[in-house]
Structure 1
Amino acid sequence: MKEAKRRREGQWGLIMAVLAALIGGSTIFTAAVSWEALTSGKILTNLFSIVGEMFPPDPAIVGKLPKPIGETLAMSVMATLLAVLLSLPLAFLGAKTTCRSTAVRWAVKAVINALRTIPELIMAIIFVAAVGFGILPGILALGLHSVGMLGKFYAEAIERVDLGAIEAVEAVGGSRFHVILFGVIPQIITQVVDFTLYRWEYNFRASTVVGMVGAGGIGFELVSSLRLMQYQEVLAILIVVFGLVQLVDSFGNLIREKMLGKEEG
Structure 2
Amino acid sequence: MGAAARAAHVGGGCDEPVVEWTLFFRNTSTSDTPVLENIQALDTAWRRGAGQEFLLHHAAGSQAKPSDYAPRESPLLPGTVQRFAGAGGRSTNTDWSYFNLQWAEEGVVLAVGWPGQWAADFARDNAGCLRVRAGQELVKAKLLPGEEIRSPLVVLQFWQGDFARSQNLWRRWMMAHSMPKPGGKLPPPQFVASSSRAYREMIEADEANQIMHIDRYLEEKLAIDYWWMDAGWYVQEQVSGRVFLDQNEGSGHGLLGDRSSPRHALKGW
Fold match (TM-score > 0.5): no
Higher helix share: 1
Superposition TM-score tier, normalisation by shorter sequence = under 0.3
Higher strand share: 2
Q: TM-score, normalised by structure 1?
A: 0.27
Q: TM-score, normalised by structure 2?
A: 0.27
